[in-house]
Amino acid sequence: MTNHIDVRKNTIPAFCIAGTHSGVGKTTITLGILAALRRRGLKVQPFKCGPDYIDPGHHTLAAGKTSRNLDTWMMGVEAVQNSYAHAIHDADIAVAEGVMGLFDGASSTEITGSTAHVSMLLNIPVILVVDAKAMARSVAALVHGFSSFDNNLHIAGVIANRVGSDRHKTILREALEAANLPPLLGAIPTSNKWHSEERHLGLVTAKESEHAEDWFIIIADEIESCINIDQLLLLCNTVKPSTTVNQIIDSPTIRLGIAVDEAFQFYYEDNLDVIRSCGVELVEFSPIHDTALPQKLAGLYIGGGYPELYAEKLHANNSMRKSIKTFADNGGHIYAECGGLMYLCKSLCDQNNQVWDMCNILNAETIMEKRRKRLGYVEATVTQTGLFGEKGTMVRGHEFHWSDVKNIDASITPFFNAKFARSNKTLPRGLHYKNVWASYIHLHFGSNPSAVKAWVQQLKENL
CA dihedral defined by 312, 318, 324, 329, rounded to 10 degrees? 120
What burial class does residue 384 get, using C-beta atoms within 10 Å of its C-beta: 0-12 exposed, 13-18 middle, 19+ buried? Answer: middle
Question: How far is 178 from 112, CA to CA, in rounded Å?
Answer: 33
176-180: Cβ within 8 A, 24+ apart:
176/139, 176/140, 176/143, 178/140, 179/140, 179/143, 179/144
Question: How far is 435 from 143, CA to CA, in rounded Å?
Answer: 53
Q: Is 329 helix (H, G, I), strand (E, B) or coil?
A: helix
Question: How far is 31 from 35, CA to CA, in rounded Å?
Answer: 6
Q: Is 273 helix (H, G, I), strand (E, B) or coil?
A: helix
DSSP assignment of 201-246 equals TEEPPTTT----HHHHHHHHHHHHHHB-HHHHHHHTEEEPPPP---
Q: Which residues, 6 or more positions from 389, have their beta carbon under 8 angstroms from its beta carbon?
A: 382, 450, 451, 453, 454, 455
Q: What sign for the dihedral angle of Cα 365, 267, 17, 31?
A: negative
Note the residue count of the chain.
Answer: 463
Answer yes or no: 236 catalytic.
no
Instruction: Compute CA 385 distance to the chain's CA centroid, rounded to the nearest angstrom.
Output: 29
Q: In this structure, how many other beta carbons lie within 10 angstroms of the beta carbon of residue 393?
A: 19
Of residues 16, 49, 226, 338, which has the active-site annotation? 338
Looking at the annotation, which residues are catalytic?
A: 338
